[in-house]
Structure 1
Amino acid sequence: MSIFQRIWGKKSRDKPKNYLSTAFTFLFGPTSSGNVVTERTAMQTTAVYACVRVLSEAIAGLPLNMYRYTPDGGKDKAINHPLYRLLHDAPNPEMTSFIFRETLMSHLLLWGNAYAQIIRNGTGQPIALYPLLPSKMDVSRAANGQLIYTYSKDSDEFGADNRCQQIVLSQDEVLHVPGLGFDGLIGYSPIAMAKNAIGMSLAAEQYGALFFANGATPGGILEHPGIVKDPVKLRESWHAQFSGTNRHNVAVLEEGMTFQQLSIPPDQAQFLETRKFQIDEIARIFRVPPHMVGDLEKSTFSNIEQQSLEFVKYTLNPWCVRWEQAMNQQLVLPSERLQVFTKFNVDGLLRGDYQSRMNGYAIGRQNGWLSANDIRELEDMNRIPAEQGGDTYLVNGNMLPLDKAGKFYTESEGKTP
C-alpha cells in the first residue's frame, strides 16, 4: 500500500471523476451569450476548428519511433519490435498511423481524453489499436481498486448486438491519454472550461449571419403622428413589402409616418473587433500562435519564425511528452520498459532557415562533435560509407589543450619545455 493510500485510505481509491462531465454529456450549463456549447458545436467555430486541426495534424505528422537502449548508453531504432509497426506505420488494418494519431489528438483536444482499445496476442504484446469515442466511455473502479473502462456501443457500430451494448474493458486493454484534470486520471474538456469564450464567438458569428441575411439593413420603428387604427395590419403590410426578396424596395411613407432606426450598427457595436478578439481568445485556450490560425495582424517576417519555434517548444512538446509516457506505460510490456521506449522526433520542426542550419553544422563539424554522416542524417540525406570518412570526427588544428600550448615550438628548437 502506498503512502498516499495509508494517509487517505478509501478516498484515494474513489472512482476517477471529471466534475464538468458525465460519461455521455458535458454539464456545461448556460453560457453568458445564451448559446449552447458542446464539443461538436464548438467545432463550428472556425478558430476552434483551426486550432484542433493544427495541433492534431502536427502530432500526427511527427515521426514516431520505437527505440532500444544500446550498451554504450545510446539508442537505436527498434525496427524489429512489434510496436514499431503499430506506431510508425499502421495501428490496425483500417487506419494509417497519421489518421490514428490525428483522430485521438482531436478527441484529446475536444473531450480532454483519448481512448484506444488494445488488442493483444497470447504473450500480451499489442498487435492492434482501435480508437474509442470519449463521449461513450465511462471510467470507474473494480472491487479490487483497478481501473475499468465501460464503453457503450450503438447499434450501428461493428459487433453491437443490441440497441446499446456496454463493453467492460480492463486497464491493460485501453490506451488512455488524459489531458489536464482534477485527479490526474481523467482529463477535463478545454471546451467546457472555455464555454463562455466559445459561446461568445458563436453568438458573434450568428449575429453577423443574421445581419447580412437581412440585407445588412438594421431594424427600426415606424412613427405615426396620430393613432394607428390597425397596427397589426400595418406591420404585416410593411414586412410583406420590405422583407425577404423585397428588402431593398423603396419605401413610400404616408400620413406623415417616419422610419427611425432602432438597432445599433455593427461598427458601433464593435462587431469586427469582437470577432478578431475571439480568435485570439480561442487561440490562447489551445496555446496556438494566432498566425497559425490565419490571424496575421500582429505577425511580421521577423517574429513568425520565433513564434513557430515557441509553438514547438511550449505547445507541441508537452503534448508529445504526454503521449510518449502514456504509450510507454500502457503499451510497452513491464519486462521491456528498461530496454525500449517510444519517442517523437521534433528536430525537423526546430530547424531554422537554410543559412542558420549550415552555420550550425559548420560549427559542430569544426569543433569535432558532428561527423559528416551526423549532418547528412539531420538533412535526410544518404550516409557516406565509413571507409570514406563519413563517421570521422574532425577538429580545428588551431585549438589545443592549454598544457600543450607551445609544444611544437619547443620540440622544433630542441628545447625542453
Structure 2
Amino acid sequence: MKILGYELRRERRSATIENPTIPVSAKNFLEFFGIQSGNLPSVTIDSALRVPAVAAAVSFLSGSLANLPLHAFKPKGEGSERIKGGIQKLLNEAPNPEWTSFGWRKYFWQQVFTGGRGVSWIERNGSSVVAIWPMDPSATVVKRVNGRKVYVFDGKVEYPASDVIDVPFMLKKDQISVYSPIVLGEKAIQLALAMGDYAGGFFAGGGVPPLALKGPLPTGADGIKRAKEDIKRAIDAAKGKSESIFPIPAGYELVPVGFDPQKGQMTEARRFQIEEIARVYNLPPVFLQDLTHGVKANVEQQDLHLVKHVISQLAKALEEELNLKIFGPRSNGRYAEHNLDALMRGDFKSRIEALARGVQTAQMTPNEARKLENRPPKDKGDELYIQGATVPLGSQPVLQQPPAEQENDEDKGNGDGNDTEA
C-alpha cells in the first residue's frame, strides 16, 4: 500500500514464530533420540522461556541493565553536574506514578531479549517531560507515513517517533522490523525443548524405554494386540508395586527400541544447547550457570567480556535513545548516562581498593569517594590529595652533610694510625 508515493510498511507479528513444517538441519541428531522432525515443538516466547537457559539469559541481562544507576547531567564550567529533580527523578527513581525505574527498565529489556524490541512512550506537557510509560511491543505497529516513522499502539493511538523510546535487538534491512533473539535461536531452542520433552517422557515412564516383544507371536492382529496388552499390564503392575522383576511368557524376549540416552550423550547434548543459547545473547556461558569449562582465569576474563562487550553496548543504546528523544538533537550539553561502577557493588574489596587509588592519585576527593558509598561528607574532604613520594623525576634535592659532621669524619680517619691508603 502506498500513501502519497511512499510505501507503507507494517511490522507483522504472529502467534508462533516458527514454521514446524520446515525440517531442521539436525534432523538425524533428533532421530538419534527417537524424535521425528515433524514432531518438533513450536517455538513461541512463552515456550522458549520454559527452557532454563533462555529464561536465565533474559532474566540476567534485563536485571543487570535495570540495576545500573541512570543519571541525567548538565554542563557546569569545564565539566558537568548531575541534574536535580525533574528528569533525574524520572530516569533514576520513578518514570511515572505506577512504575519504579528498576521495574520499567527491566520490563523494557525483557521485551528486547524476547520479542526483539523495547518501546516506551514519553508523555510531555509542552516541551517538558512529565512521565515515561512502557508499551507492549506486541500491541505496537511500526510503520512509515509520508516517510516518517510512527508507532500505532493498540490500533488506536498514533505516536511520532520523537515521542517513543525504541531499542531493537537487531534491525532488519527495512529499518522498521526487528530480529528477535528467540527467532534467531529457534533451532537451538527447539532442540532444547524436544530433548526436555523426551527426557521427561522417559522418566515419567519409570525409565522404561519403548520395548519390542520378540518371539513366536500369535497370528492375526487381535492375537498380537492381546500379547502386547498382556506385557503392558505386567510392566504397569511391576511399576505400581515398585517391583524390578515381572514375568513374561516363556520363549519371549523384550528388546529396547531406540537408543539409551546415556549412550546417546543426552546430558552432553543438553549442555551444548546452553552454549548455543548463550551465543545468541552474546553471553559467556558462566552467566547461564554453566561452569563445565570454567576455571579461575577464564571466568574472570568472561566477567570482563560481559562488561566491555555486552552490558556497555546495551547501556549505550538506551542512553543514545534517551538523549535523542528526551533532550532532542540540540541537547545543549545535557545527557543521560549509566553508572557502570554499580557492577562492582558486590565486590567490596575491589571497590574499596579502586576508590582508595582514585583518592591517592588525586583523581577524586575523599568526599567524592564517600558519596559513591552513600556516606556523608567530612570536613576537608573536598581537597585533592596525592602521595608525597610521587615527584617528578630528577627533582629530588641532593642532601649534603653539615660541616661539623664532615670534620668529624676526617678526624676519624687520622687518629689511630691504622688507615690504609687506597
The 5-angstrom pairing of residues 15-164 of structure 1 reads 22-25=12-15, 27-30=17-20, 32=24, 34-72=40-78, 74-80=79-85, 82-121=86-125, 123-143=126-146, 145-152=147-154
Q: Report Cα offsets for 1:303-330 as digits up to 9, x if no partner.
A: 4444323212211111100111111111
Counterpart secondary structure, 2:171: coil
Given the superposition, is the C-alpha separation of residues 69 and 135 from structure 1 closer, same or farther in structure 2, using an over 3 Å criterion? Answer: same
Given the superposition, is the C-alpha separation of residues 185 and 125 from structure 1 closer, same or farther in structure 2, using an over 3 Å criterion? Answer: farther
Given the superposition, is the C-alpha separation of residues 172 and 369 from structure 1 closer, same or farther in structure 2, using an over 3 Å criterion? Answer: closer
Aligned-residue offset at 1:149: 1.4
Given the superposition, is the C-alpha separation of residues 128 and 298 from structure 1 closer, same or farther in structure 2, using an over 3 Å criterion? Answer: same
The 5-angstrom pairing of residues 186-197 of structure 1 reads 186-197=177-188
Q: Of the candidates 176, 186, 211, which is equivalent to residue 220 of structure 1?
A: 211
Count the aligned residue pairs. Answer: 378
Match of 2:190 in 1: 199
Q: Report Cα offsets for 1:325-376 as digits up to 9, x if no partner.
A: 11111122455x1231111111131479544445444444443333222332
Q: Report Cα offsets for 1:41-67 as digits up to 9, x if no partner.
A: 111101000110001111111111111
Q: Which amino acid aligns with 1:149?
A: Y
Counterpart secondary structure, 1:110: coil
The 5-angstrom pairing of residues 6-405 of structure 1 reads 22-25=12-15, 27-30=17-20, 32=24, 34-72=40-78, 74-80=79-85, 82-121=86-125, 123-143=126-146, 145-152=147-154, 165-183=155-173, 184-225=175-216, 227-229=218-220, 230-243=223-236, 246=240, 250-334=245-329, 337-350=331-344, 353-385=347-379, 389-402=380-393, 404-405=395-396
Given the superposition, is the C-alpha separation of residues 24 and 85 from structure 1 closer, same or farther in structure 2, using an over 3 Å criterion? Answer: farther
Given the superposition, is the C-alpha separation of residues 87 and 396 from structure 1 closer, same or farther in structure 2, using an over 3 Å criterion? Answer: closer
* Distance in 2 of aligned mates of 1:319 and 1:116: 16
Unaligned runs of 5+ in 1: 1-9, 153-164
Is residue 24–residue 136 contact of structure 1 (8 Å, CA) maintained in 2? Answer: no
Match of 1:3 in 2: none
TM-score (norm 1): 0.81
* Distance in 2 of aligned mates of 1:204 and 1:78: 52
Indicate the percent of aligned positions where both proteins have the same amino acid.
28
Is residue 17–residue 43 contact of structure 2 (8 Å, CA) maintained in 1? Answer: no
* Distance in 1 of aligned mates of 2:217 and 2:301: 68
Is residue 327–residue 342 contact of structure 1 (8 Å, CA) maintained in 2? Answer: yes
Given the superposition, is the C-alpha separation of residues 206 and 65 from structure 1 closer, same or farther in structure 2, using an over 3 Å criterion? Answer: same
Aligned-residue offset at 1:202: 0.6
Q: Report Cα offsets for 1:229-250 as digits up to 9, x if no partner.
A: 4112222333334248649554
* Distance in 2 of aligned mates of 1:277 and 1:180: 24
Q: Which runs of 4+ in 1 moved over 6 A?
A: none
Given the superposition, is the C-alpha separation of residues 132 and 243 from structure 1 closer, same or farther in structure 2, using an over 3 Å criterion? Answer: farther
Aligned-residue offset at 1:135: 1.7
Q: Report Cα offsets for 1:1-43 as digits up to 9, x if no partner.
A: xxxxxxxxx9x9755677xxx2344652236252211222111
Q: Report Cα offsets for 1:231-285 as digits up to 9, x if no partner.
A: 1222233333424864955432225222112221110111111111111211221
* Distance in 1 of aligned mates of 2:131 and 2:161: 16
Structural RMSD (CA): 2.9
Q: Report Cα offsets for 1:66-103 as digits up to 9, x if no partner.
A: 1112121x1211113x2222211112222111111111
Is residue 37–residue 199 contact of structure 1 (8 Å, CA) maintained in 2? Answer: yes
User: Which stretch shifts more, 258-267 or 169-178?
Assistant: 169-178
Unaligned runs of 5+ in 2: 25-36, 404-422
Given the superposition, is the C-alpha separation of residues 368 and 212 from structure 1 closer, same or farther in structure 2, using an over 3 Å criterion? Answer: same
* Distance in 1 of aligned mates of 2:375 and 2:133: 35
Given the superposition, is the C-alpha separation of residues 102 and 363 from structure 1 closer, same or farther in structure 2, using an over 3 Å criterion? Answer: closer
Given the superposition, is the C-alpha separation of residues 150 and 355 from structure 1 closer, same or farther in structure 2, using an over 3 Å criterion? Answer: closer
* Distance in 2 of aligned mates of 1:197 and 1:127: 43
Is residue 309–residue 349 contact of structure 1 (8 Å, CA) maintained in 2? Answer: no
* Distance in 2 of aligned mates of 1:357 and 1:92: 33
